[in-house]
C-alpha cells in the first residue's frame, strides 16, 4: 500500500474511533481509491453469483423438454434479471473496480480526482441492485421482457415496473459518476512527462469507455422514462393505439445497447493488453495502432445499432448501411487480435494463470467476433434473429470475453493488491474447469440456433433435447467452478507466499504494466521531468 493510503486510513481512524465499528465505518466513508476499488470488486463478485444463480434456474428448466421447475412467466423474469444483474451489477462494476485500483497508480496520481464522488458512485450500487432484485417479490413480478425491456410486453409488468426503471436509473447514475471521475483523473492528474501516448493501454481503454458511458447512459434513461410515462401517465410514445411506435423504443434502446457492449469489452481489451506483454516478456506490438483501433471501435459503435433490428421492416438502404458499418468494426478489432498475437510472436512465453485466461480470451472472443460477422449479414440475420445462435454469439463475447478478461486482471494484479501470491496450482485448475465448461455451455447453442430453436422460451421441441442437456451440464459446471475462484482469492488475501517487487519471474523491467515506449514510473511516485 502506498503512503497515501496508509495516511488516509490513519486520518480516518482518528475521526471514527468507535471500537468494533471503526473497521466497518472505514469502508462506508472511505475516499481511498484502493478501498473503493476493492468495494467494487467484492460487490461484482457477489453479483456474479446472484446473476449466475438466475442463469442456472434457466438452464435447469431447459435441461429437458417440457415444463419442469418454474412457471413460464417466472422463467422470462429470470432471463430479464440475469441479464440486468450481470451487465449493470457484475461486469461493469468489476471493470470500474479495476479502474479505481489501477488508473491512479498507472498514471502516477495520488488518488482519483474526485474521491468523495467516487465513494458515492459506489454506494449507489448496492441500493440499486437491491431495488432491482426486490421487483421479483412484488405484485406481478419483475419485467418478463428480457433485458431489452421492449414494449408492449414490458408495459404488462404491473406495479414492479417503476421500481425496475428507477433501479436502472440509479445504476446508470452510478456509471456516469464513475466515468466522469475517470476522465477527470486521466486528463488532469498524470505525472509530469506522462503524455497521453505514453499511458498504459488499460488507461486508454478506460478513457474511451468513460466517454462512451457519458454519451449513452442518458439515452437509456430517456427511453425507460418514456416507458414509465406510457405505463402510468397516459402518453403514447410506444403504443400504436395512441399513435406511437414500439419500434421507436428499439431504436432508442439499441442506440444505448450497442455502445454498451463495447463499454463492457473495451476495459477487458485493456487488461489483456497489459497481461500478454508481461508473459511474452516483450513490449506490446503496435502500441499507437492499438490506441487508434480502440478509438475507432468506440466511434463505429454509435452507427451500427440497428443491426439488432434487421427484422423490423427496415428499408433496404438502412439494412445495407447497418450491415456494412457493422462489418467495418471487424477491421479495428482484427488489428487488436493481430497485435496481441504479434506481441507473443517469438516472445519468451510463460503460462501462468493470467496468461492462460488471456489466451482463452483471445481464442474464444474471436469465435464470438466471427459469429457476430455472420449476424451482421442482413439476409442471413433473418434466419438467425431471436434464435439461440444470437445467445451463443453474445455470450462468447461477454463470458470468455468480458468475464475472462476480468478474471485475468484479478489474477494478474492480486499479488500487487495483497502482497501475496495466489495459489498457482489452484489457479490453473480454475482456468481449465472454466475453459472446458464455458465451451460446453455455449458452443452447442450455435447448433440449436441454426436448427431453429428460439431464445427466451421455457419449453422446446424434442429434437433440441441433446444439445440443451449438454449446455445445461456446462452451465452448472462453469457456475460451480467459480466457487474455486472465490476460495483462491480469499486464500490469497489472508496470506501465502510473499510477492516480491516483481511478482512475475523473468519479467524484468516490465513492471506491472507495459506502455510502449515505457515511461519511467514506479507507480507510487513519478519523478519530475525537466
Q: Which of 206, 262, 340, 460 is catalytic?
A: 262
Q: Which of 455, 456, 491, 502 is catalytic?
A: 455
Q: Which of 59, 190, 198, 307 is catalytic?
A: 307
308 given a catalytic annotation: yes
411 given a catalytic annotation: no
12 given a catalytic annotation: no
385 given a catalytic annotation: no
Q: What Å distances lie between residue 32 and 23, 190, 412, CA to CA?
A: 14, 18, 21
147 given a catalytic annotation: yes
C-alpha–C-alpha distance, residues 391 and 179, integer Å: 29
Q: Where are the alpha helices (DSSP H) in 281-423?
A: 287-300, 316-328, 330-344, 353-376, 378-384, 388-397, 404-418
C-alpha–C-alpha distance, residues 214 and 222, integer Å: 13
Q: Which of 157, 205, 209, 273 is catalytic?
A: 273
395 given a catalytic annotation: no
Q: Which of 79, 174, 325, 353 is catalytic?
A: 174
Cell 519479467 locates to: 507
Q: Which of 34, 38, 61, 147 is catalytic?
A: 147
What are the backbone angles phi and psi of residue 387, rounded to the nearest 5°? -105, 175
Q: Which of 30, 80, 301, 333 is catalytic?
A: 333
262 given a catalytic annotation: yes
C-alpha–C-alpha distance, residues 276 and 198, integer Å: 18
Q: Which of 35, 61, 111, 352 is catalytic?
A: 111
307 given a catalytic annotation: yes
Cβ contacts of 477 within 8 Å, gap of 6 or more: 433, 436, 437, 440, 441
260 given a catalytic annotation: yes
Q: Which of 59, 198, 282, 336 is catalytic?
A: 336
**Helix 388-397 crosses helix 353-376 at what angle (to 10 degrees)?**
140
Q: Are the beta carbons of 172 and 129 closer than 8 angstroms?
A: no
Q: Which of 12, 169, 198, 258 is catalytic?
A: 258
289 given a catalytic annotation: no
With 0-12 CB in 10 A as exposed, 13-18 as middle and 19+ as buried, what is 78? Answer: buried
C-alpha–C-alpha distance, residues 100 and 114, integer Å: 11
Q: Which of 175, 294, 325, 471 is catalytic?
A: 175
Q: Are the beta carbons of 358 and 416 closer than 8 angstroms?
A: no
Q: Which of 82, 198, 282, 430 is catalytic?
A: 82
Residues recognised as catalytic: 82, 111, 147, 174-175, 258, 260, 262, 273, 307-308, 333, 336, 455
Amino acid at each position: 500500500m502506498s503512503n497515501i493510503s496508509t495516511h488516509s486510513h490513519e486520518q480516518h481512524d482518528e475521526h471514527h474511533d468507535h471500537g468494533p465499528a471503526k473497521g466497518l465505518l472505514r469502508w462506508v466513508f472511505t475516499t481511498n481509491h484502493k478501498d473503493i476499488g476493492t468495494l467494487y470488486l467484492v460487490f461484482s463478485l457477489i453479483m456474479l453469483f446472484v446473476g449466475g444463480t438466475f442463469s442456472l434456474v434457466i438452464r435447469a428448466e431447459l435441461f429437458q423438454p417440457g415444463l419442469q421447475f418454474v412457471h413460464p412467466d417466472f422463467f422470462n423474469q429470470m432471463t430479464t434479471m440475469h441479464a440486468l444483474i450481470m451487465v449493470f451489477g457484475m461486469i461493469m462494476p468489476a471493470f470500474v473496480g479495476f479502474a479505481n485500483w489501477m488508473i491512479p497508480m498507472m498514471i502516477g496520481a495520488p488518488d482519483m480526482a474526485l474521491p468523495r464522488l467516487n465513494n458515492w458512485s459506489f454506494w449507489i450500487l448496492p441500493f440499486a441492485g437491491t431495488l432491482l432484485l426486490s421487483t421479483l417479490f412484488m405484485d406481478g413480478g419483475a419485467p418478463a421482457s428480457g433485458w431489452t425491456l421492449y414494449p408492449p410486453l414490458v408495459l404488462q409488468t404491473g406495479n414492479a415496473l417503476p421500481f425496475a426503471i428507477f433501479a436502472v436509473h440509479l445504476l446508470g447514475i452510478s456509471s456516469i459518476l464513475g466515468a466522469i471521475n475517470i476522465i477527470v483523473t486521466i486528463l488532469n492528474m498524470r505525472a509530469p512527462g506522462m503524455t497521453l501516448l505514453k499511458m498504459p493501454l488499460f488507461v486508454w481503454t478506460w478513457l474511451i469507455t468513460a466517454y462512451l458511458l457519458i454519451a449513452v447512459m442518458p439515452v437509456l434513461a430517456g427511453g425507460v422514462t418514456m416507458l414509465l410515462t406510457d405505463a402510468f401517465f397516459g402518453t403514447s410514445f410506444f403504443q400504436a393505439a395512441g399513435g406511437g411506435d414500439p419500434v421507436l423504443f428499439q431504436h432508442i434502446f439499441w442506440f444505448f445497447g450497442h455502445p454498451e457492449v463495447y463499454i463492457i469489452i473495451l476495459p477487458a481489451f485493456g487488461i489483456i493488453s497489459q497481461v500478454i506483454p508481461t508473459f511474452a516478456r516483450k513490449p506490446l506490438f503496435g502500441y499507437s495502432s492499438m490506441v487508434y483501433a480502440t478509438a475507432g471501435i468506440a466511434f463505429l459503435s454509435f452507427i451500427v445499432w440497428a443491426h439488432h433490428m434487421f427484422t423490423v421492416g427496415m428499408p433496404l438502404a438502412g439494412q445495407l448501411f447497418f450491415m456494412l458499418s457493422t462489418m467495418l468494426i471487424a477491421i479495428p478489432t482484427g488489428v487488436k487480435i493481430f497485435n496481441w498475437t504479434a506481441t507473443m510472436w517469438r516472445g519468451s512465453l510463460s503460462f501462468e494463470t493470467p496468461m492462460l485466461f488471456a489466451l482463452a480470451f483471445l481464442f474464444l472472443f474471436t469465435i464470438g467476433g466471427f459469429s457476430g460477422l455472420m449476424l451482421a449479414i442482413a439476409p442471413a440475420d433473418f434466419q438467425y434473429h431471436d434464435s439461440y445462435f444470437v445467445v451463443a454469439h453474445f455470450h462468447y463475447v461477454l463470458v470468455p470475453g468480458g468475464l475472462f478478461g476480468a478474471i485475468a486482471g484479478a489474477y494478474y494484479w492480486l499479488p500487487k493488491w495483497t502482497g501475496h501470491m495466489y495459489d498457482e496450482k489452484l489457479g490453473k485448475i480454475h482456468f481449465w474447469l472454466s475453459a472446458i465448461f464455458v465451451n460446453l455451455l455455449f458452443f452447442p447453442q450455435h447448433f440449436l440456433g441454426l436448427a431453429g430453436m428460439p431464445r427466451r422460451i421455457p419449453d422446446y421441441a424434442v429434437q433440441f433435447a441433446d444439445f440443451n442437456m449438454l449446455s445445461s451440464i456446462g452451465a452448472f459446471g462453469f457456475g460451480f467452478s467459480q466457487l474455486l475462484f472465490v476460495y483462491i482469492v480469499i486464500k490469497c488475501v489472508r496470506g501465502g507466499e510473499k510477492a516480491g517487487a516483481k511478482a512475475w519471474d523473468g519479467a524484468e523491467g516490465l513492471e506491472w504494466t507495459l506502455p510502449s515506449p515505457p515511461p519511467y514510473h514506479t507507480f507510487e511516485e513519478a519523478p519530475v521531468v525537466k
